A and B are shown apart, each in its own frame.
Chain A
């Protein structure tokens, strides 16, 4: 089993699992840093995954599917901000509601469009090879560009100001609301790309295929202290734990003669998160000062 850790197949597995998490964490970081609580990440992944499969199936091209997935993520973000900023609804509730809506909505669309209960018809996929999957390269590029953009561009400066000191932004004649909208649309498109990886990697959509990844990505954002690069790294950590678990199950690895339970091994990053939170005082890393406020 140790030898299997250093194979390219294992590395490829990690990458495949990490891509949706990384995209979601980067997208969510943008939204949150601009001052909007992003519990709707799960909805963006799920709608992104569905739209990617649907567009890929209809057009016969996985690339079109990817664009569809990103558009669906951005559209979900637009709905989220429409309710949260224009109608001034509570941001946490909007997120929870959109997640519920995505869970039922994607299943409803499966029924209405394909008359299927759980799975979409097969769609052209990017395939298993890492080199042929533009989403892998995309995730790496995004993981480098997003933190740089947040830190060093005018767009990033405004985005951070919208999250920390919206009044300062108003003073220089920039609308915090519009700034947040731009941040969340880009963030939503990124999360949608993460969703696209879910369905385009396997060539089809299945109900609830995001299975809580959006929530985990959000937890990694908060854990990282709202720093996108570190959030992306934390997501790779989650992916390593998941890949390791798959490997353990395949190789039937044992510790001192005992089976390693497949139910418990993937919980390691979550337990670790709680332990880290318990050791380091969570107050030391503050969220954007105006997070969740109008």
Chain B
């Protein structure tokens, strides 16, 4: 689906074109808001990266979830499937993680509580992914429709579970998880950054290894490149696609650890919303490369956190909008870079 060239120079050129275009559009928007772009950009960089530890911590907090949902999109796309179901997978993980954490006895030791909650988050997401994959492979149902429907269904069911079972006396917050299931904070001026960043990085390395060093990874990429050719070499295309969707679901489900175990320590209405869709941006911006996705997530996290850091200068909606601009620019710059590459070689 994504004609991603494997030539690193061209990839770099595409990203450079896209970032320059985004910088230009962002500057134009700042002019619209009546501010000098240079000043606002500098303030954003200065506060987020140098002077305000909290803002830097928030970059890591936001990037942690984006890395996981970004990897989720990329592994599905490796198998030729467009995973737009990240929203539902994350929410399923959040509900499962929070319910399990709250059901544990108060004194449960971390050595049991933390792995259990991590596994439950991944399994809940994987279940959604499996359903999308099975519907696609066995019933020929387009994964985009199934995903859209499941996103709506999971959001509704999560709200229902919250209202019926979890929310305490008129709030939209559920009971707290057992203290043993909480992940330690990383500090950074009291920011939400937490140890689940390790989990995200482990997933990055695992996916890199899987894609580049294993036969399974080669089969995955072969299915994405040309299903018919993959089938001819004896690869079971359907099975690979279902496994890829299960893995995609598990990765997105893991983002729940960042929200529930690392930050809120309870189920909250709306927790984790939006990060599934933004993961698509992270995957595309990172050119489907696990390490590229880390860089892209940090950039998107920077825009989001930096936007808040300069909120008294320009409306924070500006950087929200810019996230869309970046994706549009990356998608358009790829083909431009390819054409330029053809012309020069």
Contacts and interface: CB of A to CB of B under 8 A. Distances in A.
B237 to A, nearest CB: 14
A126 to B, nearest CB: 28
B238 interface: no
Contacts of A107: 315, 317, 320-321
Interface string A82-119: 01000111101110111111111101101110000000
Chain B CB within 10 Å — which of A96, A107, A271 has the most? A96
Contacts of A111: 33, 315, 317
Given A218-B148, A223-B145, A104 B159 contact: no
A57 B293 CA distance: 43
A87 B321 contact: no
B148 A89 contact: no
Contacts of A110: 317
Contact of A96 (B2, B280, B335): B280
Contacts of A271: 149, 153
A97 B331 contact: yes
A172 interface: no
A185 B157 CA distance: 37
B82 interface: yes
B128 to A, nearest CB: 12
A97 B327 contact: yes
B148 A216 contact: yes
A18 to B, nearest CB: 17
B156 A263 contact: yes
A270 B204 CA distance: 34
A194 B319 CA distance: 27
Nearest to B160: A263
Interface in A240-294: 261, 263-264, 266-267, 270-271, 273-274, 277-278, 281-284
Interface string B144-165: 1110111111001101100110
Contact of A264 (B84, B156, B322, B328): B156
A266 B324 contact: no
Nearest to A273: B149
A218 B82 CA distance: 15
B327 A87 contact: no
Interface in B1-17: 1-3
B28 interface: no
Interface string A10-40: 0000000000000000000000000000010
A83 B321 contact: no
B139 interface: yes
Contacts of B159: 263
B94 to A, nearest CB: 16
B153 to A, nearest CB: 5
Interface of B: 1-3, 29, 32-33, 82, 84, 135, 139-142, 144-146, 148-153, 156-157, 159-160, 163-164, 277-278, 280-281, 284, 315, 317-325, 327-328, 331-332, 334-336
Given A108-B318, A263-B156, A267-B152, 16 more contacts: A87-B335, A89-B331, A89-B332, A89-B335, A90-B2, A93-B327, A97-B281, A104-B317, A105-B321, A108-B320, A112-B315, A212-B148, A267-B157, A274-B135, A277-B141, A281-B140
Which 9 A-B pairs have CB atoms at the shortest separation, nearest pair first? A101-B324, A104-B320, A104-B321, A100-B324, A283-B140, A263-B160, A111-B315, A97-B327, A277-B141
